[in-house]
Structure 1
């Protein structure tokens, strides 16, 4: 499993890379039915400096990659109010628009395995149901899908079916699907007995072009911290 440590060290943040090396034809634009089915996914605009993908995991919480919330040069945290979530963004239209009010990531996070975050929104979203979190062990199929935005299609959702979990070490997984720039924070979606659930968050592209994802279980402590913070307001 030495490849995983090397891949994690060499992986480029998806929002910063210049081009996608995904296999030709591996990703495609989501059709209208698919876009409606995954309307909990939206584009997260980053203080006028680009965008990532984020997913509604509670009416007032979105999940994304932690590196999306930092300035790409200085590494400083972006002000939460400058994080703008566009639910179901599609060619200039979106189902809901919210600003961030607070952002939480793992304390002392420095590696890819901790590159996840939740953003507390300034108001709850009623326009779409949140996507539940779940462990990959609950999946009823070995195949999953990713849905998100990228520099190749920044104005509409792209989708890729049939993503295999190629390997895993702790919370970090190597996924057999594409990882174009801009798709940091995109959900890895699996299907269980109760329906689809968020199994991971795409955080980077490995040197072979495959996506690196952090398992959704890593989000649970952040959601608990967000709830405790809200209760203390």
Structure 2
């Protein structure tokens, strides 16, 4: 564990207050700036604060579990409590959607002492009330295969930059051990749940989710988890627990579209 003795400081949750030295970043403040990053959005948690989330499908947002669970009850937030605001910039979002269903990593324990185990389990998936069309936001794919080099990128909202996505074009992976990914990106309050992105060909893909801040080799660093198969498991949980549509049956009167006894038949060809 030597360099991986994680002297964690805090979760980067809605109550966090830590930050560290700024690096070269760019705020995405207009439509041209946002091109390719529309799938990053701010997750507003009622009037309690916010995190960052990223679309991985038209109606699915990937984020941190501690952004999805009510600390008081230890349960996922109720439907409608969280709003995903895709590409939010100075009060205007490309799309606003309520979160209607949440699946949390079953290994995540709310209010547990911060540790490597807590970070490894800090993943959640949220289903939106309605899909966001591809014409508005193109979801990010999960990274597959080996990462070429150590360069990663981060796009998130945060304290002092909550009104527009701030993209850190280039930061570095410092280590990958025991299911954890350590990186030197500039993260702060609100960055929780944002996607750590690694390039795969021409497009950035999601490598991890920002969970916590701690120390590594005597320096402040960010921590995320190896996603492995957990996202697929969370998708399966959402499908299994999705509300079942209620079937309705009408009996129609012959020669009428009014509900009654009997049946109505329509000849082939619509005649």
CA RMSD of aligned residues (A): 2.2
- 202, 227, 252: which is aligned to 1:216? 227
SS for the counterpart of 1:221 is helix
Query: Whose helix fraction is larger, Structure 1's or Structure 2's?
Result: 1
Gaps of 5+ in 1: none
Gaps of 5+ in 2: 110-117, 246-271
After superposition, the Cα gap between the structure-2 partners of 1:52 and 1:112, relative to the gap in structure 1 and judged at 3 Å, is same
After superposition, the Cα gap between the structure-2 partners of 1:80 and 1:203, relative to the gap in structure 1 and judged at 3 Å, is farther
Is the CA contact (8 Å cut-off) linking 2:22 and 2:186 kept in structure 1?
Answer: no
TM-score by length of 2: 0.77
- Equivalent-residue separation in structure 2 for 1:99 and 1:120 (angstroms): 9
- Equivalent-residue separation in structure 2 for 1:97 and 1:85 (angstroms): 6
How big is the shift at 1:231?
Answer: 9.0
Q: Quote the residue 1:47 is aligned against.
A: 46
Deviations 1:136-177 (A, max 9, x none): x44344311000000110101111122211112233211121
Tell me, yes or no, if structure 1 residue 120 matches structure 2 residue 119. no
- Equivalent-residue separation in structure 1 for 2:119 and 2:153 (angstroms): 20
Where relative contact order (Cα < 8 A, 6+ residues apart) is larger, the structure is 1
After superposition, the Cα gap between the structure-2 partners of 1:147 and 1:62, relative to the gap in structure 1 and judged at 3 Å, is same
Is the CA contact (8 Å cut-off) linking 2:154 and 2:194 kept in structure 1?
Answer: yes
**Alignment coverage as a number of residue pairs:** 229
SS for the counterpart of 1:86 is strand
- 122, 131, 151: which is aligned to 2:140? 131
- Equivalent-residue separation in structure 2 for 1:76 and 1:142 (angstroms): 36
- Equivalent-residue separation in structure 2 for 1:51 and 1:140 (angstroms): 32
How big is the shift at 1:212?
Answer: 0.7
Is the CA contact (8 Å cut-off) linking 1:84 and 1:98 kept in structure 2?
Answer: yes
Tell me, yes or no, if structure 1 residue 164 matches structure 2 residue 172. yes
